[in-house]
């Protein structure tokens, strides 16, 4: 079946003790970052969880002083990271609603996660919607993202908001943190599009998203987890900067196939070879659910992952039409949002890739897409390497429907780490589906 081009376990009631959380925080898997940061995180989360277990929340303190210290984006002039409009279910603007931008730990950290590991989501920005529901999220500075970038430089972010009894399904997106050394020993940092060369400091376009407040993982669902414990009754009217999040990996589904490259030839005397090089980056869909049950998930954004080794796929020849796949380990996180004043606010589940797990397969296709953007011909006995362009997004390229009920999107751009090499035995054209082959064509077809 041809892929379409586009732009598990049930929820349970959990009791987590402060002692158990502290033990988890001291484990080598509870990161992000350096020992000092981990210690502060452990102390902060322990304080917050102890508060959540109390009946009256007396003496509660925010578990992370950095949260309260974040400047509202309206007071900043730094580049916009995310923007859009937030509305109610009736389409009316959500006015004066506060949004929080959270950063996941680095891919170095999530690659080591096993079931039961807990991790902190780090608030990095906040914003308040205007009278028309419009909002813009800005980071005070990019330096605070460095501990979260990891060896591949990828930053995975998530927008969340709650108002009254409603909340948005959290929206995820990914960026890359690039650095340039400056004369005198300093450096300049910039958030760029995923897959940009490390020397490219061109700021990525801000993610533009429309968000809608709805009954997602709040009210009755969360009250059922409280098990009629009046001291733990759900409260949904909590100032966002007095919230904190406990995130736990609750399921490991193992490696799942993901599409990373494709090419097509409708002529002879053209050989092609795809290479997914170490540190190659793919943008893969995240699926969220209020209950975590099979068939209840929907995609709401993407996350960025990278390879740790190189895969060189077999060279193909005459009339070859191919998809190239590799695998990423799939996991399910349970994310619990608490108030520092005591109660659990809401809980949801996020299914997403954890890390690249290798393997390769090539699928043979029967047809090629229409490609009419044809540039100059390539002469016989020449070689051309396509290693820089945006990629097509495959709406169902990450094959996980057998696990959660839906497949999600995937995209890998051609770059120095994900490249397609052509060898021409005769004079031939390579045409793009939406641009010239040497431009930003999403798909390439070899022709007469």
The predicted-structure confidence for 48-76, as pLDDT tens digits, reads as follows 333 333 322 223 333 444 556 789 999 99
Q: What is the mean pLDDT of residues 107-118?
A: 96
**Dist CA 99 CA 93 (whole Å):** 14
Instruction: Read off the pLDDT band of 239 (50, 70, 90).
Output: low
With beta carbons less than 8 A apart as the criterion, state whether 94 and 163 touch.
yes
209 half-sphere exposure, CB direction, 13 A CA radius: 21
Q: What is the structure's pLDDT at 260?
A: 95
Instruction: Read off the pLDDT band of 199 (50, 70, 90).
Output: low
Task: Point out the least confidently predicted range of 19-28, 254-263, 277-286, 318-327.
Answer: 19-28
**In the chain, what are the domain boundaries?**
8-250, 254-447
Instruction: Name the CA radius of gyration of the chain, rounded.
Output: 23
C-beta neighbour count of 55 within 10 angstroms: 10
Nearest partner of 351 among 292, 307, 412, 281, judged by Cα: 292
Q: What is the structure's pLDDT at 57?
A: 29
- Please check the confidence at residue 161 and state whether its pLDDT lies above 50: yes
Beta strands in 201-295 (DSSP E): 207-212, 243-265, 270-276, 281-289
- Please check the confidence at residue 18 and state whether its pLDDT lies above 70: no
Q: At what angle do helices 35-53 and 18-26 cross, to 10 degrees?
A: 170
**Cα angle value 405/410/411 (rounded, 5°):** 170
Two tokens, residue 102: 């959270």
With beta carbons less than 8 A apart as the criterion, state whether 82 and 62 touch.
no
Q: What is the structure's pLDDT at 180?
A: 78
pLDDT tens figures, 248-260: 999 999 999 999 9
Name the more confident of 251 and 226.
251
- Please check the confidence at residue 12 and state whether its pLDDT lies above 90: no
- Give alpha helix (H) positions in 85-135: 107-110
Per cent of the chain over pLDDT 70 is 77
Q: CB neighbours of 219 closer than 8 A, spacing ≥ 6?
A: 165, 234, 236
Task: Point out the least confidently predicted range of 58-67, 185-194, 213-222.
Answer: 58-67
Per cent of the chain over pLDDT 90 is 57
Q: What is the structure's pLDDT at 245?
A: 83
Name the more confident of 24 and 127.
127
Q: What is the structure's pLDDT at 319?
A: 95
**Dist CA 331 CA 398 (whole Å):** 13
**Dist CA 208 CA 214 (whole Å):** 19
Q: What is the mean pLDDT of residues 107-133?
A: 94
Q: What is the mean pLDDT of residues 378-386?
A: 96
**Dist CA 143 CA 66 (whole Å):** 14
With beta carbons less than 8 A apart as the criterion, state whether 418 and 412 touch.
yes
Q: Best-predicted range by mean pLDDT among 2-16, 116-130, 220-234?
A: 116-130
Instruction: Read off the pLDDT band of 417 (50, 70, 90).
Output: confident
Report the Cα 106 to chain-centroid distance in Å: 11
Q: What is the structure's pLDDT at 339?
A: 75
With beta carbons less than 8 A apart as the criterion, state whether 333 and 110 touch.
no
- Please check the confidence at residue 23 and state whether its pLDDT lies above 70: no
pLDDT tens figures, 266-302: 999 999 999 999 989 999 999 999 999 999 999 999 9
- Please check the confidence at residue 43 and state whether its pLDDT lies above 70: no
- Please check the confidence at residue 21 and state whether its pLDDT lies above 60: no
Q: What is the structure's pLDDT at 203?
A: 66
Query: What mean pLDDT is reported for the chain?
Result: 81
Regarding beta strands 444-447 and 243-265, do their DSSP bridges make them parallel or antiparallel, or are they unpaired? parallel
With beta carbons less than 8 A apart as the criterion, state whether 233 and 343 touch.
yes
């Amino acid at each position: 079946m041809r892929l379409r081009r586009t732009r598990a376990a049930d929820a349970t009631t959990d009791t987590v003790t402060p002692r158990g959380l502290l033990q988890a925080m001291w484990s080598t898997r509870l990161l992000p970052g350096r020992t000092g940061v981990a210690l502060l995180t452990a102390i902060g989360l322990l304080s917050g969880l102890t508060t959540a277990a109390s009946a009256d929340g007396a003496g509660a303190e925010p578990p992370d002083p950095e949260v309260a210290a974040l400047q509202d984006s309206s007071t900043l002039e730094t580049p916009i990271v995310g923007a859009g409009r937030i509305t109610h279910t009736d389409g009316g603007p959500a006015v004066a609603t506060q949004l929080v931008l959270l950063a996941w730990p680095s891919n170095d950290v999530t690659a080591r996660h096993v079931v039961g590991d807990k991790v902190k989501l780090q608030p990095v920005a906040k914003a308040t919607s205007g009278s028309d529901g419009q909002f813009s999220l800005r980071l005070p500075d990019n330096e605070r993202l460095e501990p979260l970038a990891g060896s591949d430089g990828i930053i995975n972010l998530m927008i969340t908001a709650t108002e009254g009894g409603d909340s948005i399904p959290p929206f995820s997106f990914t960026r890359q943190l690039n650095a340039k050394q400056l004369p005198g020993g300093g450096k300049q940092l910039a958030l760029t599009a995923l897959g940009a060369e490390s020397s490219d400091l061109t700021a990525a376009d801000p993610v533009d998203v429309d968000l809608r407040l709805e009954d997602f993982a709040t009210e009755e669902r969360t009250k059922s987890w409280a098990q009629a414990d009046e001291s733990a009754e759900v409260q949904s009217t909590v100032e966002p900067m007095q919230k904190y999040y406990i995130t736990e990996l609750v399921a490991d589904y193992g490696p799942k196939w993901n599409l990373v490259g494709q090419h097509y030839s409708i002529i002879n005397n053209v050989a092609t070879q795809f290479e997914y090089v170490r540190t190659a980056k793919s943008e893969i869909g995240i699926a969220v659910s209020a209950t975590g049950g099979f068939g209840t998930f929907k995609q709401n954004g993407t996350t960025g992952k990278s390879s740790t080794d190189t895969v060189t796929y077999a060279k193909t020849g005459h009339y070859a039409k191919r998809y190239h796949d590799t695998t990423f380990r799939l996991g399910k996180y349970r994310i619990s949002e608490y108030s520092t004043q005591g109660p659990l606010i809401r809980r949801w589940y996020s299914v997403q890739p954890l890390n690249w797990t290798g393997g390769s397969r090539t699928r043979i296709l029967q047809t090629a897409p229409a490609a009419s953007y044809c540039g100059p011909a390539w002469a016989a006995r020449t070689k051309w390497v396509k290693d820089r362009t945006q990629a097509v997004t495959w709406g169902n390229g990450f094959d996980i429907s057998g696990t959660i009920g839906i497949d999600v999107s995937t995209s890998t751009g051609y770059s120095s780490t994900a490249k397609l090499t052509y060898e021409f035995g005769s004079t031939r054209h390579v045409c793009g589906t939406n641009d010239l082959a040497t431009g930003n064509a999403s798909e390439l077809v070899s022709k007469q």
